A and B are shown apart, each in its own frame.
Chain A
């Protein structure tokens, strides 16, 4: 039995793309790993973030903004189709600055982005410490200012994944967990994909396996220079609603727990807990919001982001093996709406590389 598409990877990227393809009538099989695999989608913070995206690539800034604008409808669609409320909110975001240097950094970034040609207006501006405290009373005295953007929001990434999976399966997705892909063999027409549990055939194949893409890309002539970057997250007990806005590295879930994050480490494929990192996260968080001090930490974990050399997505159809695509990014949550509703249709078109020219990995060869 041959599917139109085999999607390797059932995380937020694979599931969103499959959702879009199934909606357009394609037949899709997802090959996913097991219960304890490295899964960036389970380590996700849940930001639907616009303000810091695309400093250095205006197409990415525009793409992020587009996705953020699609998200409210996307969330509604998901609740209609699955009954699952993915908790999408778009109150606007504040990146709090604890010193002048940080403030300057953000200000410079805004100016750079503003000066990029064709960039979508993202309403981002710097605000003073006093104004921040007016907008967000829990912010502490050490905060000197913030970068604000009205289009920033949050969503529950785990419920999103669950909703996407549910809708996909109801729409005829063939979902195969515990199927590790060993080899992709391009055929005269289509592809033969060998897993530890047998082989699968398809017309087209999409690599959406996060940090697993790099190795798989070699089978289909795709150069995918991504690497793992570890991020730690600390979760507190539930508390009453604290914030009016999303504070970047601090965000409160609908259940009331507060998530703290935003570290970066290069430690290879190690998703263990590092006490120093957790302490660093907490220290910054309580300096920004002093009232958090009394809350109890009940859980912490780390997950591996999928990082390209410039941090921007990589979208490409293989020239040597047409029909093989790679879709990878580190903002699977923010871009889920765009992936499902705007990118998926292009996979059925005939000018994928033309449409996503800016995101081609060939940009890394230009030195």
Chain B
């Protein structure tokens, strides 16, 4: 549960997460954009499929993995937002091609 200081709620850029448009501060990390939108559940843990969210916010824990502009398994706490970015929540096991699942 995170919120922006009021002064930071103006002049925000727009990015997209799983189809929803979100506000972002220029230069901030993808992870905090999601957190500000109330999203703390970024992915499912690969073994038990239980929800996981950011823990360290510095690139060490690898919990904040999301797909950014088509490239998967990116650490959201290390990638700065850009206007128009498209972010997707990932499955625990990468699906590298829909038609290859057997």
List residues of chain A with CB under 8 Å of any chain B CB. 137-138, 237-244, 255-256, 291-292, 294-296
Interface 1/0 per residue, B88-102 and A, CB below 8 Å:
000111111101111
- The docked-state distance in angstroms from the alpha carbon of A294 to that of B96 is 7
Cβ contact within 8 Å between A295 and B100: no
Question: Which residue in chain B gives the minimum CB-CB distance to A256?
Answer: B93
Question: Which residue in chain B gives the minimum CB-CB distance to A293?
Answer: B96
**Residues on B with beta carbons closer than 8 Å to the beta carbon of A296:** 72-73
- Contact (A239, B102) CB under 8 Å given A256-B46, A296-B73: no
**Residues on B with beta carbons closer than 8 Å to the beta carbon of A239:** 93-96
- The docked-state distance in angstroms from the alpha carbon of A242 to that of B102 is 6
Q: Chain A interface secondary structure, helix, strand, loop or mixed?
A: loop
Cβ contact within 8 Å between B46 and A241: no
Cβ contact within 8 Å between A138 and B100: yes
CB distance from A104 to the nearest CB of B (A): 30
Cβ contact within 8 Å between B73 and A240: no
Cβ contact within 8 Å between B102 and A137: yes
- The docked-state distance in angstroms from the alpha carbon of A339 to that of B47 is 33
Closest 9 CB pairs of A and B: A239-B94, A238-B93, A256-B93, A240-B93, A291-B97, A138-B100, A240-B95, A291-B96, A240-B101
How many chain B residues have a CB neighbour from A under 8 Å?
A: 14
**Residues on A with beta carbons closer than 8 Å to the beta carbon of B97:** 138, 291
- The docked-state distance in angstroms from the alpha carbon of A48 to that of B16 is 47
**Residues on B with beta carbons closer than 8 Å to the beta carbon of A242:** 96, 100, 102
Q: Chain B interface secondary structure, helix, strand, loop or mixed?
A: loop
Question: Which residue in chain B gives the minimum CB-CB distance to A242?
Answer: B100
CB distance from A83 to the nearest CB of B (A): 18
Cβ contact within 8 Å between B101 and A241: yes
Cβ contact within 8 Å between B73 and A291: no
Cβ contact within 8 Å between A291 and B94: no
- The docked-state distance in angstroms from the alpha carbon of A295 to that of B97 is 11
- The docked-state distance in angstroms from the alpha carbon of A296 to that of B94 is 10
**Residues on A with beta carbons closer than 8 Å to the beta carbon of B92:** 238
CB distance from B43 to the nearest CB of A (A): 12
- The docked-state distance in angstroms from the alpha carbon of A291 to that of B96 is 7
Other 11 A-B pairs with CB < 8 A, given A138-B100, A239-B94, A241-B101: A137-B99, A137-B100, A138-B97, A239-B93, A239-B96, A240-B93, A242-B100, A242-B102, A244-B102, A291-B96, A292-B96
Cβ contact within 8 Å between A291 and B100: yes
Question: Which residue in chain A gives the minimum CB-CB distance to B47?
Answer: A255
- Contact (A237, B100) CB under 8 Å given A256-B46, A256-B93, A295-B94: no
Question: Which residue in chain B gives the minimum CB-CB distance to A243?
Answer: B102
**Residues on B with beta carbons closer than 8 Å to the beta carbon of A256:** 46, 93
**Residues on B with beta carbons closer than 8 Å to the beta carbon of A137:** 99-100, 102
CB distance from B35 to the nearest CB of A (A): 24
**Residues on B with beta carbons closer than 8 Å to the beta carbon of A291:** 96-97, 100
**Residues on A with beta carbons closer than 8 Å to the beta carbon of B91:** 240
- Most central of A138, A239, A255, A295 by chain B CB within 10 Å: A239
CB distance from A42 to the nearest CB of B (A): 21
**Residues on B with beta carbons closer than 8 Å to the beta carbon of A292:** 96
- The docked-state distance in angstroms from the alpha carbon of A240 to that of B73 is 14
Cβ contact within 8 Å between A238 and B102: no
Question: Which residue in chain A gives the minimum CB-CB distance to B98?
Answer: A240
**Residues on A with beta carbons closer than 8 Å to the beta carbon of B101:** 240-241
Interface residues of B in 67-84 (CB under 8 A from A): 72-73
